[in-house]
Amino acid sequence: MTGTLPSLDYSFRRLVNILGPERVSRSPMERLMHSHDFASLPKIALLQWKMIPDFVVVPKTVEEVSRLVEFAFEAGLPIIPRGGGSGLVGGAVPNRGGILVDMRRMDRIGAVDPERRLLTVQAGRAWKEIADFAAARGMFLPIAPLGAPASTLGGWFANGGVGIGSYKYGDARDIVTDMQVVLPSGEALRTADGTVDLSVAFGNLNPAFFGSEGTIGLIVEATLQLAPKPEALVPLTYSFKDLWSAREVPGTIAGSDLEPYNVAVMDPVHLAFMRTVRPETPDPQALVNVSLDGPKDEVAAAAAELDALLGGLGGKKLGEDVAKAQWDGRFDLYPARRITGGLVLTETEFPTPAYVEMLRRAARVARRLRMQVAVNSFLVDRNTVAVNPYFLMEEDSPLGPTALAFVKKFGDVAFALGGHPEGLGLFTAFNFPKMHKGATGIYEAVKTQLDPHRKVNPGKMTEVWTRYDLPIVNVIPPEIMGFGLDVAAFLRRLKPTSDRYVKIPGGPR
């Protein structure tokens, strides 16, 4: 339970003793800035959760993180790790105040082994910065999150990172050889033997923290296995009339012998949103962006095969300038937030064969909820497509927050088609039983063993804590969370008009 004012005053003095006054803040503005992640939230959420932390602290060393965790236990305060704030589901947002640990000053790059292409980095470094550092030394970071300029090493790993490059090179687990993690006890643990090559099977604890959302420990450092810098990396862009016209693209590429670096399908609604704030954006159409890497002759041969493959589906190859602009803008996908001030993005994964049916159902959900939704997607591997719909939300409108119903309804579509939403946190913990089925008891046992006092990022996985540490009202059952969003969906259907922020040629979407 968050303490009284006198105890918070004492805690502030203790925190200053650990870090110094310049790296501990009680500033209302500073705390407010750390009370949300990328997702837009209605103000009514503050009635349910105390999302504004009591303190924001900025450690620089593993020892400081250990001391902070030990003190949080002593003071009876929750401790919440936070990276770049690019998450979508409240995984790094407090629910009962406490100590928010901003990891971004833990950004030191340590050992570099050019011969084995190993790079040791503190967990607060952004992925794009790591990629740029590697590229400047002739090495290649093969995968990166869509939010790479802000997303941190530890944050994306803890979120279960798949992203750009995953189709060819795998997910974040496949490039992390070793980590250092501070456990809820304050002990610093190494998860593996960093001297062992990843290509050889060996026991390690890395997977235990992959997708753990910072609930069983704070990742403070990792050693990455980089790749040789490819001789060529060529982006290609193909145009289709609309998303439905491009419906066979993911399955066709996945079923071919091609091994592209990245494959993304962009919705015309997305381009219309973008064009509103970026006039140089192409006219609304479905764009298929494919990147190829490797030796120049192999890339040229793959490009010719891809031209024939997508041309046979009705795709029109666009110029190199368009393809380059799409590649250069791969991390800048959501400036449309400026249109309304609010934007909500949800991440899901579907079996590749279910992609066509997903498009049908996504359009149906958007139509029923009277919403305009951009449905972008990218191939994770031959069997899986990540679908990342987003929509605009007017936070100050009485019915604006009811748009969050789309997150629940589209998640239901994912489950129905053999997929699932990505990420767990304050706003999506109700998905845990469906996502992990019989694993609830296993996770509870692990959490209890490592964090028996529930102090490290608590109340966001198998249960949802409220801001009230009182019997009966201290926890929201997952079913109640889901029911609330179902009620929001009902209210959306009563809305007299549909949201139409942009015009799409060929009719409303």
Residue 446 lies inside a defined structural domain of this protein: no
Residue 447 lies inside a defined structural domain of this protein: no
Residues 239 and 352 in one domain: no
Residues 490 and 350 in one domain: yes
Ranked by mean pLDDT, which of 184-198, 206-220, 393-407, 461-475 comes out on top? Answer: 206-220
pLDDT of residue 200: 45
pLDDT of residue 379: 98
DSSP conformation class of 283: P
Among 211, 228, 245, residue at a domain's last position: 228
Residue 113 lies inside a defined structural domain of this protein: yes
Among 46, 80, 105, residue at a domain's last position: 105
Residue 350 lies inside a defined structural domain of this protein: yes
- Band the pLDDT of 495: cuts 50, 70, 90: confident
Tens-place pLDDT, residues 316-370: 999 999 999 999 999 998 999 999 888 999 999 999 999 999 999 999 999 999 9
The set of residues, in sequence order, having a beta carbon less than 8 Å from that of 168 and lying 6+ positions away, is: 142, 259, 260, 261, 262, 293
Residue 450 lies inside a defined structural domain of this protein: no
- Band the pLDDT of 43: cuts 50, 70, 90: confident
Residue 456 lies inside a defined structural domain of this protein: no
Among 168, 194, 228, residue at a domain's last position: 228
Residues 146 and 185 in one domain: yes
pLDDT of residue 196: 59
Tens-place pLDDT, residues 444-477: 899 999 999 999 999 988 888 999 988 888 998 7
Tens-place pLDDT, residues 14-25: 999 999 999 999
Residues 401 and 472 in one domain: yes
Residues 390 and 470 in one domain: yes
Lowest mean pLDDT among 72-81, 105-114, 471-480: 471-480
Domain hosting 245: range is: 231-333
Residues 375 and 480 in one domain: yes
Q: How far apart are CA 304 and CA 263, in angstroms?
A: 16
Residues 393 and 345 in one domain: yes
Residue 449 lies inside a defined structural domain of this protein: no
- Band the pLDDT of 199: cuts 50, 70, 90: very low
Q: What is the CATH number of the domain that holds 508?
A: 3.30.70.100
- Band the pLDDT of 108: cuts 50, 70, 90: very high
| Residues above pLDDT 90, as percent of the chain | 75
Q: What is the CATH number of the domain that holds 168?
A: 3.30.465.10
Residue with tokens 């990891």: 103
Exposed/middle/buried for 493, CB within 10 Å: 0-12, 13-18, 19+? exposed
Q: What is the CATH number of the domain that holds 261?
A: 3.30.70.3450
Q: Total structural domains in the chain?
A: 4
Show the 3-state SS of 23-90.
HEECCHHHHHHCCCCCCCCCCCHHHHCECCCCEEECCCCHHHHHHHHHHHHHHCCCEEEECCCCCCCC
Residue 84 lies inside a defined structural domain of this protein: yes
- Band the pLDDT of 195: cuts 50, 70, 90: low
pTM for the full model?
A: 0.93
Residues 296 and 179 in one domain: no
Q: What is the CATH number of the domain that holds 43?
A: 3.30.43.10
- β pairing state of 227-228 and 384-392: unpaired
